[in-house]
Every structure is written in structure tokens, then in C-alpha cells.
């Protein structure tokens, strides 16, 4: 961030999550909702 603000050319990599049909995250959530339509979670969730 300091280099970018100083005007030095930088390449920045950021972590990302792709959620869509076929992605592992999407398929896990779909699997859980098909089998457990109601789930009790702590308030912090």
C-alpha cells in the first residue's frame, strides 16, 4: 500500500472466493440446505 501511494508501479494480488454453480463452496452449501433445511447457529454466525 505504501509503495502504491508513493507512485511506484506495483502488481497486487488479492484472495478471492468464486461462488457459483459448480464451485465447491456453492455445492457444499447446496448439499447442506438439501439435507438440513433448518440449522441452529450461535448468534455470532
Q: What is the pLDDT of residues 1-45, one digit of tens each?
A: 687 788 888 888 887 777 777 888 888 888 888 998 787 878 887
CB 21 within 8 A of CB 13: no
Q: Which residue has the cell 439435507?
A: 35
What are 12's three cell numbers?
Answer: 497486487
- pTM score over 0.85: no
CB 19 within 8 A of CB 25: yes
CB 10 within 8 A of CB 3: yes
Amino acid at each position: 500500500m505504501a509503495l502504491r501511494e508513493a507512485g511506484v508501479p506495483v502488481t497486487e494480488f488479492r484472495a478471492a472466493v468464486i461462488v457459483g454453480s459448480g464451485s465447491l463452496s456453492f455445492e457444499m452449501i447446496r448439499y447442506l440446505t438439501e439435507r438440513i433445511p433448518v440449522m441452529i447457529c450461535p448468534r455470532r454466525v
